[in-house]
Structure 1
Amino acid sequence: MIETVVFNDAGVTTYTEDALAEAKAATGTTWVRVYDATPEEIQTVADTFGIHPLAVEDVLNEVPPKTEEFSAYSFALVKAAELRRGEQTFEEEVLDRTVGAFFGDDWVVSMTTVGLPVIARVWDAVERGDERLLHRGADFTAYRIIDVVVDGYFELLDDIEDDIERSEEEVLESTEIETLERLNSVRRDLLAFRKIAWPTREAVGTLARGDTAHVQPETEKYFRDVYDHLVQVVDLTETYRDLARGARDIYLNTLSQSTNEVMKRLTVIAIIFLPLTFIAGLFGMNFEVMPELAWSGAYHASLFGMTAVAGILVGYFYREGYL
C-alpha cells in the first residue's frame, strides 16, 4: 500500500496514490508510507522522489542497519525487532523487520515490506494532528520513526530479562532439559539481537553527530537521545548475555553436582556389595577339600559374616555423610 499525507501548521491533508507528484509539490512536510507494496508501486515512489534503486534494494533485501547520504536526501535503515514465541515455552525467536526512512528537505518516505504497528503509531499521531510533529520538518518525522523502533528494543529486552529470571529460578530447583533449552534459546536471541543493536547504534550515531546535511541542528539533539538509548540497549544486551551465560554455568554445575551425588551413592552400594560378593564367591567354589566345607553351620556363619560386614560399611558411610 501507498499512503500519503502532507502536514503543516494549517493541518493535515491526505492524498491518493495517484497524486504523489502533487503531494510532493504541496506546501508542508510530505510523508509517504509504503508497505506491502508491489514492485510497480515501489518503483513509482522511487521515481517520484528520486530514490536510488540500490537504496530501495537494501530495504527489500533486508541488509544490516546503516545510514547513507545522497545529494537530495538521506537514507537511514533500521530494524524493528520483536520476540516471537513458539509452541513450547522455551521456543522463541527474534523477528526483525527492515524499516527504510528516506528524508529530504520537506519529504519523508518510510518503506517496509509489511505493515508495522510501530510505524502506524507515528502515522496515527500525524493524522490526529500532533503538534509535536506538525510544527517540525521531515527530519523530525524521520527521528520519530526511528525512535519508536528503538523503543521497541526495550520491550524485547524486558521479555528476555523475564526469561532469564525464570531460568535462574529453575536452575536452582531442577535440572530439567527444558531449562537448558530455554537458556540456549535466550542466548541465541541475545546474539541475534546484538547483530541488530550494534549496527543500529552506528547508523544513528551518524545522524546524531551532524554528519548528515538533511538533519537540522535543532533535530540533532533528538537523534542524540536515540543514540543514548541505543548505547543503553547495547549495554543491557551484553549484561543479559553475561547473566544467561552465568545461569547456564550454574545449570551445568548443578547437573554435574547431581551426577556426582548419584555416582557417590552408586559407589557406596558397590563398595558394600564388593566384600559380600567376595565371601559368596569364596565359599561358592566347587572344591572337595576346603576348610569348613563339611561344617553344618558354615552357611549360617557366612550369612552372618556378610550381614556384619554390610552393617559395618553402612554404619561407616552413614557417619561420614555419604548416605
Structure 2
Amino acid sequence: MISALVYGDDGVSAYEETALDAARDADGTTWVRTTAAEEFERVAEAFGVHPLSVEDVRNDARPKAEEYDEYTFVVVRVATLRAGEQVFEEEVQTRPVGLCFGDDWLVTLTRRELEPINYVWNAIEREEPRMLRFGPDFVAYRVIDRIVDEYFGLLDEVGEEIELIEDIILEGPDPEVLEGLNAVRRDLLSFRKTVWPTREAVGVLARGDPDYVRESTEKYYRDVYDHLVELVDLTETYRDLARGARDIYLNTLSQSTNEVMKTLTVVATIILPLTLVVGIYGMNFDPGASAFNMPELGWAYGYPATMLGMALVSAVLLVYFRRESWL
C-alpha cells in the first residue's frame, strides 16, 4: 500500500496510491510511505531511489546512514518483544525501516505497517500538520526518535524479567529459571546488535555529515544520539545483571547440592559404626569351639548391651554433628 502527505500553502493534503506522481510533483514537502515490499520499486523509481537502498531494506541490512547524490538513506530497526508459549520465552524481533529524504521529500520503506511510522503519520494528519514544514529531515528525525523511544520500553520489560527471575532464584533453584536467563541473555545480545549500529548511524546524522541534514535539525539528532548512548549503557547493565543472576542461580544450586551431600555424609557416618558392629556379630563363630569365639554371645544381656552400645554411638555422633552445625 502506498500513501502520501504533502504540506503546501493550503496545509496538508493526502494522496492515495493512484496519485503517486501527483504527490511527487506537488509544491511543498512530500512524505510517501509504502508498507508492501512489492511496491518498493515503484516508489523508488518515482523518486530516484537507488536499487541498493531498496535491496538493503529487503535484506534487513544493519542500521546505517549513507549519502547519495539526490538523497540521504538511513536504515533503522523497529524492535519488539514477541511473547512465547512458555514463561521466559519472549524473543526480540526486529523489522527494518528505510528512510530516504532529499530537499523536499521523504520516502519510508517498510514491509508492513509499524507503530512508530503510524504514530508520526497520524500526528501530522490530525495534530501537527506543520511538522512537514520543518523539512523531510525533521520528519525522519521524528520517526527515528519514536523508534528509539520504544527501545526503552523493551528494555524495561527485559529488566522486569530479570527482577522476576532473581526473586524466583531466591526461593530455590529451578531448571526453568536457567532457561529464562539464557533467553534474556540472547534477547540482550540481539538488542545490542540493533542499538550499536543505530547509534553509529544517528551519529553520522548528528554531525551533519549528509548534505540533506540541515544545521537546524542536527541538534535533534544529537538528542537521539544521547538516548542511544544511554540505551547502550542500559543494555550492558542488564547484561551484567543477567550474568550476575546466572551466577547466583549456579551458586544456589551448588549450595543446595552441598546441603544434600552433607546430610548424606552425616547419615553414612552414623550408619558406618553400626554396620561394623552388625558385621562383626554376623560372622557366626561357634563359641563352643573356642573360648575366644565371641564368648559374649552366651551372655544373657549380650543383645541388649549391643543395642544399647549402638544407640549410644549414634547419640554421641548426633550430638557432635549438631554442635558442629552440620544438622
Q: What is aligned with 1:189?
A: 187
Conserved 8 A contact 2:132-2:139: no
| Equivalent residues in 2 for 1:1-323, closer than 5 Å | 1-8=1-8, 10-38=10-38, 41-131=39-129, 133-289=131-287, 290-291=293-294, 292-323=296-327
With over 3 angstroms needed to count, the CA separation of the structure-2 counterparts of 1:10 and 1:270, relative to structure 1, is: same
Look up the equivalent residue of 2:186 and give its one-letter code: R
Partners of 1:100 and 1:24 in 2: CA distance: 18
SS in 2 for 1:89: coil
Conserved 8 A contact 2:12-2:129: no
Question: Aligned-pair distance for 1:219?
Answer: 0.4
Partners of 1:278 and 1:9 in 2: CA distance: 104
Conserved 8 A contact 1:83-1:92: yes
How many positions carry a matched residue from both structures? 321
What are the superposed Cα offsets for residues 246-291 of structure 1, whole Å, 9 maximum, x if unpaired? 1111111111111111111110011000100111011111322522
SS in 1 for 2:297: coil
SS in 1 for 2:134: coil
Output the aligned Cα RMSD: 1.3
Partners of 2:219 and 2:98 in 1: CA distance: 21
Identity within the alignment, %: 59
SS in 2 for 1:215: coil
Conserved 8 A contact 1:15-1:23: yes
- Using the size of structure 1 for normalisation, the TM-score is 0.96
Partners of 2:276 and 2:315 in 1: CA distance: 16
Look up the equivalent residue of 1:179 and give its one-letter code: V
Look up the equivalent residue of 1:34 and give its one-letter code: T
Question: Aligned-pair distance for 1:296?
Answer: 3.6
Look up the equivalent residue of 1:275 and give its one-letter code: P
Q: Which runs of 5+ in 1 are unaligned?
A: none
> Runs of 4 or more off by more than 6 Å in structure 1?
none
Conserved 8 A contact 1:11-1:129: no
SS in 1 for 2:97: strand
Partners of 2:43 and 2:57 in 1: CA distance: 14
- Using the size of structure 2 for normalisation, the TM-score is 0.95
Deviates more, 1:180-189 or 1:283-292: 283-292
Higher Rg: 2
Deviates more, 1:296-305 or 1:209-218: 296-305
SS in 1 for 2:197: helix
